[in-house]
Copies of this chain bind each other. A is one copy, B any other.
Amino acid sequence: MTPLAGEVPGVPVGTCFEGRRALSEAGVHRPLQAGIAGTALGGAVSVVLSGGYEDDQDSGERILYTGEGGRDPRTRAQTAHQLLTQGNLALARSHLLGQPVRVIRRVSGSTYRYDGLFLVASVWHEVGRSGYLIWRFLLEAQVPQPAGRQVTTRLSRKSIHAAQVKAWHDHTCQLCSLRLTTPAGPYAEAAHIRPLGQPHHGPDTPENLLCLCPNCHVQFDLGGVGVEDDLSLLGRPGLLRRVRAHRVDPAGLAYHRAHIYSADPGDPD
């Protein structure tokens, strides 16, 4: 049976459980050991924060969550790179699907509290304190929306320079050269190279934006395509399309390669 994302009926926010078995039997977090529950294709459904990872940070509504794997089972020290597989892949998939994840915190000893639904607002990788690559996830408490107003698409922050950058490129995608047209005119999206806001703190400048079609925007944000300093593309053939007026910041491209672009083969299933 595919595990279900979202609220568990009869389990309000704040419900406490004694031990992982009780948590599992209530259907709030099924696995007895793993911190992340879910599947590669269906996404993550729940995560448990036990305070086990040295790189985790938790400020209530916003959690920097470290992925799983690469730790010595005996010493719990990070001794290898983490991979975009299993639980890490499930969390990345939740981000892609815009699907909320249940968050459970260990509040003391063996007491666990269900703390509500969070969205995976950001997915990236970095070199942890140990020197090994770790996957990181920014979880943000889901803001209730009016009924029927739910948005299916990914969280993507607005830029005040979006219209300018799209006009410079005449709404032509800088990755695939498509100019998507509709009866309401051409359509493109302005994608931040180094993302805005926590945890990336990219600048909202035209130099930090690309003009992309929606399909390439999904792939760029999820790390399926990157851009080298010489503007050749990573993950597919081709060059970044340029226009004279629009300077692209090489430092932004380097940041994207280091933290977002993933050389993984692409399709896990």
Provide the residues of chain B in CB contact with A219, threshold 8 Å. 180-182
Beta-carbon contact of B218 and A96 below 8 Å = no
CB < 8 Å neighbour of A123 from B152, B184, B214: B184
Beta-carbon contact of B187 and A96 below 8 Å = yes
Provide the residues of chain B in CB contact with A149, threshold 8 Å. 143, 155, 157
A163-B38 Cα distance, complex, nearest whole Å: 14
Residue A60, interface by CB 8 Å:
no
A156-B149 Cα distance, complex, nearest whole Å: 8
Question: Which residues in chain A, 162-220, are within 8 Å of chain B measured between CB atoms?
Answer: 162-163, 167, 178, 180-187, 189-190, 196-197, 213-215, 217-219
CB < 8 Å neighbour of A215 from B95, B180, B197: B180
Residue A222, interface by CB 8 Å:
yes
Interface size for A (C-beta < 8 A) is 56
CB < 8 Å neighbour of A84 from B123, B183, B197: B183
Beta-carbon contact of B152 and A185 below 8 Å = no
A194 → chain B closest CB, angstroms: 15
Q: Name A158's closest neighbour in chain B (CB-CB).
A: B150
Beta-carbon contact of A156 and B153 below 8 Å = yes
Copies of this chain held together in the complex:
2
A143-B42 Cα distance, complex, nearest whole Å: 30
Question: Which residues in chain A, 51-65, are within 8 Å of chain B measured between CB atoms?
Answer: none
Provide the residues of chain B in CB contact with A12, threshold 8 Å. none
Provide the residues of chain B in CB contact with A223, threshold 8 Å. 182-183
CB < 8 Å neighbour of A184 from B92, B157, B181, B197: B92
Provide the residues of chain B in CB contact with A123, threshold 8 Å. 184
Beta-carbon contact of A184 and B93 below 8 Å = yes
Beta-carbon contact of A266 and B183 below 8 Å = yes
Provide the residues of chain B in CB contact with A189, threshold 8 Å. 152-153
Beta-carbon contact of A218 and B187 below 8 Å = yes
CB < 8 Å neighbour of A163 from B42, B145, B156, B157: B42
Residue A269, interface by CB 8 Å:
yes
Provide the residues of chain B in CB contact with A186, threshold 8 Å. 267, 269
Provide the residues of chain B in CB contact with A156, threshold 8 Å. 151-153
A136 → chain B closest CB, angstroms: 14
Q: Which of A154, A187, A269 has the most CB of B within 10 A?
A: A187
Q: A182-B224, A213-B215 are in contact. List 11 more A-B contacts (CB 8 A).
A: A84-B184, A143-B149, A148-B157, A152-B159, A153-B153, A153-B154, A178-B215, A181-B266, A182-B218, A183-B264, A186-B269
